[in-house]
Amino acid sequence: MANATHPPLIKASRALLIALVWALFSVSHTCLAQSAGSLTLGDIRITISAADAGITIFKGTIPVVSQPAPLQIEVVDDAGNASWKTGNYDVVRNSNTGLECQGSIISARGSRFRFRDHYQISRGAFVINRSVTVEAKSPNETGFSSRFALPAVGVLKTTDCDFLAPGVWYGQNEHAPATAIAGHMEDRAILIREDRLASPMLVVRRRDTGLTVELLRLDGNADTIAKEDGLNRLISPDFKFGSLGVLNTGSLAPLFQYPGTEGERTYVYGPSKEGGRFARRSHPITPGFRQDVTLSLRVYQSVTYPDAVKTSQRYAYSLLSPQAPSANIQAAYKASMELMAAYCKRYNGAIGLPFAVRIPNGEAYDTSCQMGFVGDALPAAALLLRHSSETKSTEVRHNATDLVDYWVKNSKTSSGVLKTWYDIQPDGSVTWRTYPQFLRVASDGVTGVLHAWSILKSKGENHPEWLKFCTDWADWLLKNQNAEGSWYRSWKLDGTPEDRSTDTTIQPISLLVELGMVTGEPRWKLAAIKAGQACLRTVHNLHAYIGGTPDNPNTADKEACILTASAFLSLYDQERDPRWLEAAAQAANFAETWAYLRNIALPASDPENLYPAGRSTVGVSLIALGHSGADNFMAATPFLWYRLYIATGDEHYRSFATLVQNACLQMLDLDGSLKYAHRGLLTEALTLAPLRGHGVKSWLPWLSVTVLEPLVGLQDNLGTMDISEVSKMNLEKQKQQMNAYARAHGLEKAGSPQ
């Protein structure tokens, strides 16, 4: 009856229904047509689908990564209980610049999070710009974090791969202490805060195929709150740091988590052998709150693990583009020399250079004296003898000469082993510690005596007993060199080995090379070559840079990398064998991974922060595996790296040398604004991870020696301390001057002055 009564209305209803059906079909068809997309870079292709596939990464036609759930949210309720929920994109569409992907996660109690991910190709990488917005909050939920993870196709475990997490994870971390993060490959989760990493990067290389996945955070300043600490979950909108790592649950998944939860091992509250320790961090579930992160992803083929380290570190260097303000090089030289001159004197009547000086008041609270390593008394004395000639200071020359004399006359034992540390008592008497002779400490000390002898000989003052002290200890080295060329790490004073590991064999090589230059006797050079050949096998081939710091366990560390680069380059100076240059360059490449390539902001409100306010932390470098202590030892590298640049023609070494020369002078009080007792003072060590900026409120002599030695090397051999000025010189002239340095290292001959 109605049809007969209202035919126009029926026709209109039918037309509306047809239009609605067609519109729904069109929308469905449009979404279906735009529900997948892909990006291709070389032989690597990323496909993203809003269907079940999610993200798949292909190398050629072979899938190597499969992530059906790219959206991952951890939600924390009011009771502190946490759970993860995952999902896929509901929209994938092409844009002018790449792929736009969106999707939502709704928690079990109703909090809603919207993901907007943009994928594009930029600077030879896939770049992911991710934003996660809180759209709705459940009354019973309080915190959240997000994760971007890329599981491998098929079964893949940590033991199938080598890793690089700069300053924390090398290879399988075979040379890490048991308490170290990433020290146990069986852990199901290895998450590392990015402020604990020298670069916010993780590299995973398959041992079987060489396929390498690199994940690098590009944005952000890794901010945190003042005195952020503790294993309990903390929730703050001010956490800007993330964490990088892997899930090791069958299909190994490199990941970035935001903000930066750390575990299942952490250095929060100190390192521990105990697993299952997490320091959990979350953002608040506040409607409108948004996370923003930019990641770089590369998948490439590397021939060897050292190739992957070099390739990824150089790429991070280019993208992060670390900068440092120009430093007053001459002021740093003057302040550092004046500082050491002020403290090299008599204490209770006994000559010494104090082991530790308090900052900021300059009190010499530990007047013990160590020949090398952190005490560096003898390298400091050599520098002061050079300085005394510049300033015509008889007092400085007298004190430095007395210091060398005292060590030469009193440190040798009947076994040939050197005593390396003494204490000055209140009555002026000296007592020697039973501290073992570490190769590092003795090599530093004897090298200081050799340089002191050469400096005075060049001024017409010969101390043959100083040179004999050096050759006597070198004879001891030859006598105790193992058949394959190695030496033990440390010795008791009675001449028996204490630590029979041979990982530090590299350390006396430069000294032996220089003794050969000075004396012309081949036995030093032959012993150095024999040791170098052993180190090619055990250090270079295994990329095992271990034991550079005697106050750490025999673990991988930055100083071992730098000492190795120096030793192999010294051998190259003598032999011109490309094997030595290749080994020196590889060690230098590993050394660079320990240096922070971006500024880590330190909370200004924390009175315990030791780092100068408002100055960049670029160039501060992590010390060793097993903790997050950092220091200024990268200041030792500018002259060494410049020599590598001249020898290899690789511009990167010049760039890095220029960077660290300026960056590593930021900790000095050159402008007087820090109100230190001396402008050359700087803190011995601190951390840029929690508790950020806390550390050792002391100056030790190595700090100034490390600043000064490369400046002297540049001045004496290239005519200026400033690398930016050296770079303006004719390159052929630079090569000629470096070739002259390679022949003699600027040292006098034992016969007559050059």
Is residue 212 a part of any domain in this protein? yes
Cα distance between residue 285 and residue 590, in whole Å = 41
- pLDDT score for 1: 37
- pLDDT score for 184: 96
**Is 448 or 51 the better-scoring residue by pLDDT?**
448
Containing structural domain, residue 99: 71-320
Is residue 675 a part of any domain in this protein? no
417 has a pLDDT exceeding 50: yes
Cα distance between residue 638 and residue 723, in whole Å = 8
The CATH number for 274's domain is: 2.70.98
Query: Which residues touch 626 (CB under 8 Å, ≥6 apart)?
Result: 176, 177, 179, 180, 183, 271, 552, 553, 555
- pLDDT score for 479: 98
pLDDT, mean of residues 7-25? 37
- pLDDT score for 13: 41
- pLDDT score for 34: 62
pLDDT, mean of residues 62-89? 97
Taking only the tens place, the pLDDT of each residue in 109-163 is 999 999 999 999 999 999 999 999 999 999 999 999 999 999 999 999 999 999 9
19 has a pLDDT exceeding 50: no
pLDDT, mean of residues 68-94? 97
pLDDT, mean of residues 318-338? 97
pLDDT, mean of residues 236-251? 97
3-state secondary structure 301-331: ECCCHHHHHHHHHHHHHHHHCCCCCCCCHHH
Is residue 1 a part of any domain in this protein? no
What angle in degrees, to the nearest 10, is found between the helix axes of 464-479 and 509-519?
Answer: 130
- pLDDT score for 663: 98
* H or E element, residue 119: strand 112-122
Domain tally for the chain?
1
Is residue 294 a part of any domain in this protein? yes
30 has a pLDDT exceeding 80: no
Is residue 682 a part of any domain in this protein? no
In Å, what is the CA distance from 233 to each residue of 39, 269, 343, 370, 425? 38, 14, 47, 44, 50
- pLDDT score for 28: 36
376 has a pLDDT exceeding 80: yes
Taking only the tens place, the pLDDT of each residue in 663-698 is 999 999 999 999 999 999 999 999 999 999 999 999
Task: With beta carbons less than 8 A apart as the criterion, state whether 306 and 649 touch.
Answer: no
Taking only the tens place, the pLDDT of each residue in 268-296 is 998 988 889 999 999 999 999 999 999 99
Q: For the range 647-650, what are the long-range contacts, defined as Cβ-Cβ under 8 Å and sequence gap of 24 or more? A: 647/569, 647/572, 647/581, 647/584, 647/738, 648/581, 648/585, 650/585
Bridge partners of 120?
127
744 has a pLDDT exceeding 50: yes
- pLDDT score for 6: 41
Amino acid at 104: S
- pLDDT score for 343: 98
pLDDT band (50, 70, 90) for residue 3 = very low
Q: What is the mean pLDDT of the chain?
A: 94
pLDDT band (50, 70, 90) for residue 552 = confident
32 has a pLDDT exceeding 70: no
Is residue 740 a part of any domain in this protein? no
pLDDT band (50, 70, 90) for residue 534 = very high
Of 36, 237, 33, 22, nearest to 134 by C-alpha is 237
Copy the structure tokens of residue 502.
């041979």
Is residue 679 a part of any domain in this protein? no
- pLDDT score for 300: 98
For residue 286, give the 3-state DSSP assignment: coil
Cα distance between residue 470 and residue 404, in whole Å = 12
Is residue 400 a part of any domain in this protein? no
Residues 490, 495, 500, CA angle at the centre, nearest 5°?
35
